[in-house]
A and B are shown apart, each in its own frame.
Chain A
Amino acid sequence: MASAPPHLLGEAAASPAALRRFLHGLPGVDQVGCEARTASLSTRSIKTTSKAWALDLAISTIDLTTLEGQDTVGKVRALCAKALHPDPADASCPRVAAICVYPDLVATARAALGDSNVRVASVATAFPSGRSSLDVKLQDTRDAVSAGAHEVDMVIDRGAFLSGDYQRAFDEIVATKQACGTAHLKVILETGELMTYDNVRRASWLSMLAGADFIKTSTGKVQPAATMPVTLVMLQAVRDFRDATGRQVGVKAAGGISTAKDAIRYLVMVNETVGDDWLDPAWFRIGASRLLNDLLMQRTKLTTGRYCGPDYFTLD
């Protein structure tokens, strides 16, 4: 299908060969150096006031997620209630950024959230594997958007990407972006299947060139999901992309981030890699389900001065 190169680097998308040349011309990523950098960032010690600030920021960047076959309307409603008032006992606790559900539960979430500023994100494009025809993927997207999704989390065609058919992966993103209309498009790279950081960087650029508003690490259905190094490479990619094109793209780390300590490490990494401009739910998200309760426990510890137990926080 005809692609519409939307950016200054559109020449990269002028032909499959040009796209390939461009992606393979990106600087490589040394695995050891990349992982050493994240290990070093992980030693940051965030205490007292900065911890309080970071915990609240972490809560406000959460895409509170449920993506199970057994999801129910009731569960989604409960999740929405939690999204609006994560700590019912503390009105100063910020809301999460969004609820993330399957397309068929978008309407439920929209109704539950009303006109709050909590967004509704829907996975689409034959999530999580992406193994369907393009028509099915696009219809999936249109369903989600018409049900009221503010944001669409699509998956890239890893098969095409890994086989070197970058153009096909690119064109699908362009088409999905069109199907989204005004909804924001998050492109899931599923980094756990990309095998190398070089591929993560290429997939990031490919997605951004094709029009992604966000690039997202993982579906949460493949191990490993989000990791610090993978997210670091993606943060470097959005930084470089903005330098090259002037367009800012968001980053979502999803899957496997379950403790406040982890979440703060990611925020530190955002802070020291791309800075203030991305330290905002509009540009950085954490996709998680269990994380919120740990953030709340730590938040309560800070305000009360004593350690908390899980029984004092709702499971969903």
Chain B
Amino acid sequence: MSFEYAPAPESRSVVDLKSSYGLFIDGNWVDGSAHSFKSVSPATEEVLAEISEASDDDVDAAVKAARRAFTRVWAPMSGVERAKYLYRIARILQERARELAVLESLDNGKPIKESRDVDVPLVAAYFFYYAGWADKLDHAGMGTNPQPLGVAGQVIPWNFPLLMLAWKIAPALACGNTVVLKPAETTSLTALLFAEICQQADLPPGVVNIVTGAGDTGRAVVAHPGVDKVAFTGSTEVGKAIARTVAGTNKSVTLELGGKAANIVFDDAPLDQAVEGIVNGIFFNQGHVCCAGSRLLVQESVYDDVLTRLKQRMATLRIGDPLDKNTDIGAINSAEQLAKIRELSEVGETEGAERWSAPCELPDRGFWFAPTIFTGVSQAHRIAREEIFGPVLSVLTFRTPAEAVEKANNTPFGLSAGVWTDKGSRILWVANRLRAGVVWSNTFNRFDPTSPFGGYKESGFGREGGRHGLEAYLAH
């Protein structure tokens, strides 16, 4: 007997897609003065909408609107009132959760079960959490009466479009800053829906401005002299360019960049949960996760056991329609990203690593990549060093705890790491030595608004989440 799951698609009808979208500046929808571009569903290559590309002038208008809102309304407003706006937004996010989840999956390609159960609930949670800080900043450990920085220019990536928006906007607003946010060009739609939510919440015009576009728009936001604070999540390469751009200015910067996290499995690990953690670590969100556990380090004595279980488990992953409630792995976000994943995977084979992909049928249209692992990988291989940002896991082995730590740290990145063992003292020993901003022990890829997140070394600087996340948005 064989248990086939019939299609269980989430209805698209909950989403009211417009054929074209303008920019959200000063509380109004305005047409961009430059070109427009198409937002495509990565699962079907269907054009979802035309999006305005914000020009330098549009960005300038947005920054000026944010400045006016900052000086006249938002910064002078009492924390109590700011908090109530943010709570209001959090509630509307909860009310419109289904709509946001469907739109996110449609535009990004991530499975609906993740947008529904992870992304959108966390988005609301981040707003709820930071709402509560708005009137308690005196108690945040940054002196009494800490002041906002001004206008925050925020540039976010396509892997968690709405969640990254929440990570950026919620603390910025709670601290009294106003924002100009640029979503990634392939995933603008939920940010634009968020703009509607700001309108529904009666957020004063100019407090949140959304400018859509690609790299040029992002550069304009970062470089704009009226921006006091730059927050960026994305590639290390762009992060470095931003650090150079802001050099010599008074802008403060936080960067949340790439990673090549080690997920270390010791021989006494709870193996079934470790396998779940490995799968979650690298295949969650198609591996489009900066903190993905993309390097599996397995202790030699359990290597065969772990690999067998891992392959069994990977064979149960369901790849396909992001809107199907049973889909585990959705579409790769763009043709460009797919090409990059393919290229690095081919390099992996050329370098002599052994490739194994889960047996699965991929849809004909859209951008797809089967969950893949490489065994026989050495530290020197490119697939063990470069961020693939896709569902591709490199498997390495180790014998001793010291070797595991040494290999884990042998990377310019330092965002996250995982460690699996039933021995408590070993967890703390390893966690203590890992040069990474987040260490998940006997779990992986957990996120919470109270929990600071951010990297060491070339994974960026500054923390998002928790009390620490306020530091990026207050003068202190």
Contact = CB atoms under 8 A, between A and B. Distances in A.
Please indicate whether A and B come from the same complex rather than being unrelated chains: yes
Interface of A: 27-30, 32-34, 36-37, 43-51, 53-54, 57, 236, 243, 267-268, 271-272, 276, 279-280
A30 B325 contact: no
A51 B272 contact: no
Query: Is chain A's interface secondary structure helix, strand, loop, or mixed overall?
Result: helix
Contacts, number: 73
Given A32-B443, A43-B117, A46-B8, A57 B273 contact: no
**Ordered nearest first, which 5 A-B pairs have the shortest CB separation?**
A33-B273, A45-B8, A45-B325, A30-B270, A30-B273
B263 interface: no
Contacts of A29: 270, 272-273
B270 A280 contact: no
B269 A27 contact: yes
Contact of A43 (B4, B308, B325): B325
Contact of B3 (A34, A47, A54): A54
A49 B271 CA distance: 35
A33 B5 contact: no
A266 B326 CA distance: 16
Nearest to A48: B6
A268 B3 contact: yes
Given A27-B270, A34-B272, A45-B325, 4 more contacts: A29-B273, A36-B276, A46-B6, A57-B3
Given A28-B268, A28-B422, A45-B325, A34 B1 contact: no
A243 B308 CA distance: 10
A276 B2 contact: yes
Contacts of A57: 1, 3
A34 B389 CA distance: 27
A143 B2 CA distance: 38
B118 to A, nearest CB: 11
A33 B442 CA distance: 8
A30 B442 contact: yes
B297 to A, nearest CB: 18
Contacts of A50: 3-6
Contacts of A272: 316
Interface string B1-29: 11111111000000000000000000000
Nearest to B305: A27
Nearest to B269: A27
B113 A279 contact: no
B3 A271 contact: yes
B374 to A, nearest CB: 24
Contacts of A45: 5, 8, 325-326
Contacts of B272: 27, 29, 33-34, 37, 236
Contacts of B276: 33, 36-37
B1 A276 contact: yes
B157 interface: no
A272 B117 CA distance: 20
12 contacts: A32-B443, A33-B273, A33-B277, A44-B5, A45-B5, A46-B5, A46-B8, A50-B5, A57-B1, A57-B3, A271-B3, A276-B3
Contacts of A33: 270, 272-273, 276-277, 442-443
